[in-house]
Chain A
Amino acid sequence: MTLAIEADHLGKVYPHSASGVAALSDVSLAVPTGGVYGLIGRNGAGKTTFIRIAATQLTPTSGTARVLGLDVQGDERAIRARIACVPQESRPLYFLRTEEVVYLYLKMRGLPSADARRRTKEALDELSLTEHRTRLVSRLSGGTRRRVLCAMVLASDADVMFLDEPTTGLDPLARREVWQAIRRASREHRTILLTTHYLDEAEALSGRLALVERGRVVLEGSPADLRARIRHPYRVTIRGAIPRSELDGFGDVSEIEGGFLVFAQEEAARELARRALERGAKLSMGPVSLEDIFLEVVGRAIDDDNGAEEKALEESA
């Protein structure tokens, strides 16, 4: 099967990096064709660098990357005919009307007028932008502008779409609409490489995920694979009735407001839940969230912004 994106020992050191720190280091990934693949990581982890290399916007320093079986260094023209990208921090041209942003982008890609017009209408409907159809982009809110960019790319005929933090700044309802459009595109056998630091978004959309930290892939697989690979795949929250000393043997225990949070293996979690219920404690139990996995693997929360040096590297390039 042809992979949508394939990276082999990919590395990137930005030319003006004074410290010589690699923004990407020895990254190997295989993104299957069709569906959503999530790249998650803190700010500056290397997600954008990876996307920019795969989208043929940036030259890698080492290793290779292929998109739809084509080399990003040599087959750029053939790749570009089949991809589309919403870059991080991009904004639509502010003097255009909403519908013009989408329509002209599609025309620019070479679509005939009738096709471009139909796709524009469908994309605006899908992302609830029809009411803003004739408004100038300069008069739209930041979140709506971001949605316009998503509509633009999701309306395209591209086989592989790169969405770099597509829902940043969107309200929860608008995020759900973008998710629906992404799911629709993936049902049409498009491949979507999505970077996000919203872990609920990554979990809701992605068939497979790669967790990136300091330029390296530290965990990769389906959400179920990721859970299976960590030490404690279950989380139990207990409030009242059981003292801390009785919990330590079940797994990793931390104190939370009014009780304790225990990360444990499945058997231990079940046993703990049984005991807690017998003692009348309040309890919730379930598989760990992506956020828990991230915390366990990286040792820091995803919104812990100490990735500043790599971020600075990416921005300086």
Chain B
Amino acid sequence: MSERHRLRSLFSLVLLNGLIPIRTQPLYLVNLLASPLSFLFFIDVISKGTLISYGITGGLILTMLSAGTGLQTDLTHYRHDLKFQDVVVASPVEAPVYVAGMALSELVYSLPGIAVFVALFIANGLATPEAALVVAGVLVLVWGFATALAFTLATYFEDVRETFMFSPLISLLLTVLPPVYYPLAYLPAWAQLVARFSPTTYAANLVQGVAIHGQSISPAAAALDWGVLGAVTAALFLVAAFKARWKEP
């Protein structure tokens, strides 16, 4: 398959799973905005506005994470209920092109959420050039590892209902327990240790460090955060490449 063919496949998948469903049901666009905005609302009310910056940076991370993990429901539904994955497998479309197309289509749903949180990010004075670069890099990695995780899981689920069970669990492990919406220091020592096992802890450290604390994060700490986040993303891509079941065993 030539690069031109791959691009055609990619854009067809973005149309098919992103733009066209939104034309049919525009409320899809609100779906991925609801949870991060709800968190932001609670945090703002409860902290009397003192933690609004954490709510905004957390909202950005959660929106991108949801764009990635949300893929597991679509992919499982298409694979089991519509047999769409079988149609695609028996075609020139390669697995990475399928995953990339579907992941980009999920990102389309996240655009309103990203737009709202970027606007809030700028309006609250968090958007220095350095912060913008760091946030963009972190969000790409978060979206990447969430997509790889979602694709791998979707090829193992036997029923779409299993994704309903896993989604809150993933949300708990990646966004509630890790300090996405609050400073790591707020957690008790044991919870800080547990949070260190989640890649979103490192994502939040980087974003909060550069956007909220200015230069308070040391280069060594930043390097560690980037290293762990990058390694987790690479590891999950490798797992997806070698363990996801594109062809049934």
| Alpha-carbon separation in the docked complex, A39 to B248 (Å) | 22
Interface stretch (choices B84-92, B173-181, B183-191, B218-226): B84-92
Residue of B nearest to A15 (CB): B249
Asked whether B12 lies within 8 Å of A104 as measured between CB atoms, the reply is yes
Tell whether B123 is near chain A: CB-to-CB under 8 Å: no
Asked whether B24 lies within 8 Å of A91 as measured between CB atoms, the reply is no
Interface stretch (choices A76-84, A175-183, A226-234, A262-270): A76-84
Asked whether A55 lies within 8 Å of B89 as measured between CB atoms, the reply is yes
Residues of B with C-beta under 8 A to A90: 82-84, 86-87
Interface residue count for A (Cβ, 8 Å)?
36
Tell whether B8 is near chain A: CB-to-CB under 8 Å: yes
Q: Which parts of A35-51 form the interface with B (CB within 8 Å)?
A: none
Asked whether B20 lies within 8 Å of A87 as measured between CB atoms, the reply is no
Residue from B16, B25, B87, B92 in contact with A110 in the complex, judged by beta carbons closer than 8 Å: B92
Residue from A15, A85, A91 in contact with B90 in the complex, judged by beta carbons closer than 8 Å: A85
Tell whether A100 is near chain B: CB-to-CB under 8 Å: yes
**With known contacts A95-B25, A108-B9, A89–B83 Cβ distance under 8 A:** yes
B73 to chain A, nearest CB (A): 14
A154 to chain B, nearest CB (A): 13
**With known contacts A84-B91, A107-B8, A91–B247 Cβ distance under 8 A:** no
Asked whether A56 lies within 8 Å of B91 as measured between CB atoms, the reply is no
**With known contacts A108-B9, A108-B12, A110-B5, A87–B86 Cβ distance under 8 A:** yes
Residue of A nearest to B94 (CB): A77
Tell whether A109 is near chain B: CB-to-CB under 8 Å: yes
B25 to chain A, nearest CB (A): 7
Tell whether A59 is near chain B: CB-to-CB under 8 Å: yes
How many chain B residues sit at the interface, stated as a range, is 20 to 34
Residues of B with C-beta under 8 A to A224: none
Asked whether A107 lies within 8 Å of B12 as measured between CB atoms, the reply is yes
Most buried by B among A15, A80, A136: A80
| Alpha-carbon separation in the docked complex, A50 to B45 (Å) | 61
Asked whether A109 lies within 8 Å of B92 as measured between CB atoms, the reply is yes
Residues of A with C-beta under 8 A to B46: none
Tell whether A58 is near chain B: CB-to-CB under 8 Å: yes
Tell whether A93 is near chain B: CB-to-CB under 8 Å: yes
Residue from A85, A95, A110 in contact with B8 in the complex, judged by beta carbons closer than 8 Å: A110
Tell whether A162 is near chain B: CB-to-CB under 8 Å: yes
Q: Which parts of B52-99 form the interface with A (CB within 8 Å)?
A: 78, 81-84, 86-94
Residues of A with C-beta under 8 A to B247: 56-59, 76
Asked whether A91 lies within 8 Å of B1 as measured between CB atoms, the reply is no
Tell whether A52 is near chain B: CB-to-CB under 8 Å: yes
Residue of B nearest to A89 (CB): B83
Residue from A57, A81, A88, A95 in contact with B24 in the complex, judged by beta carbons closer than 8 Å: A95
As a 0/1 sequence over residues 135 to 168 of chain A, the CB contacts with chain B under 8 angstroms (1 = contact) are 0100000000000000000000000001000000
Tell whether A317 is near chain B: CB-to-CB under 8 Å: yes
Residue of A nearest to B11 (CB): A107
Residue from B1, B16, B248 in contact with A57 in the complex, judged by beta carbons closer than 8 Å: B248
| Alpha-carbon separation in the docked complex, A95 to B21 (Å) | 6
B13 to chain A, nearest CB (A): 7
A40 to chain B, nearest CB (A): 21
Asked whether B90 lies within 8 Å of A83 as measured between CB atoms, the reply is yes
Residues of B with C-beta under 8 A to A109: 9, 91-93
Tell whether A96 is near chain B: CB-to-CB under 8 Å: yes
Tell whether B131 is near chain A: CB-to-CB under 8 Å: no
As a 0/1 sequence over residues 219 to 249 of chain B, the CB contacts with chain A under 8 angstroms (1 = contact) are 0000000000000000000000000000111
Asked whether A93 lies within 8 Å of B82 as measured between CB atoms, the reply is yes
Q: Which parts of A180-233 form the interface with B (CB within 8 Å)?
A: none
| Alpha-carbon separation in the docked complex, A107 to B8 (Å) | 6
Q: Which parts of A62-111 form the interface with B (CB within 8 Å)?
A: 76-77, 80-81, 83-93, 95-96, 100, 104-105, 107-111
As a 0/1 sequence over residues 110 to 147 of chain A, the CB contacts with chain B under 8 angstroms (1 = contact) are 11100000000000000000000000100000000000
B87 to chain A, nearest CB (A): 6
| Alpha-carbon separation in the docked complex, A20 to B58 (Å) | 50
Tell whether B118 is near chain A: CB-to-CB under 8 Å: no
Residue of A nearest to B158 (CB): A316
| Alpha-carbon separation in the docked complex, A83 to B88 (Å) | 10
**With known contacts A59-B249, A108-B9, A108-B88, A91–B16 Cβ distance under 8 A:** no
Tell whether B15 is near chain A: CB-to-CB under 8 Å: yes
B12 to chain A, nearest CB (A): 4
Residues of A with C-beta under 8 A to B5: 110
A interface, CB within 8 angstroms of B: 15, 52, 55-59, 76-77, 80-81, 83-93, 95-96, 100, 104-105, 107-112, 136, 162, 317
| 18 pairs, A vs B, C-beta closer than 8 Å | A52-B248, A55-B89, A57-B89, A80-B92, A87-B86, A87-B87, A89-B83, A90-B82, A91-B83, A92-B82, A93-B82, A107-B9, A108-B13, A108-B91, A110-B2, A110-B6, A110-B8, A110-B92
> Given A80-B93, A83-B91, A104-B12, list of 5 further CB < 8 A pairs?
A57-B86, A80-B92, A90-B87, A162-B90, A317-B248
For the complex of A and B, list the 3 residue pairs with the smallest distance between their C-beta atoms, beginning with the closest: A110-B5, A90-B83, A85-B90
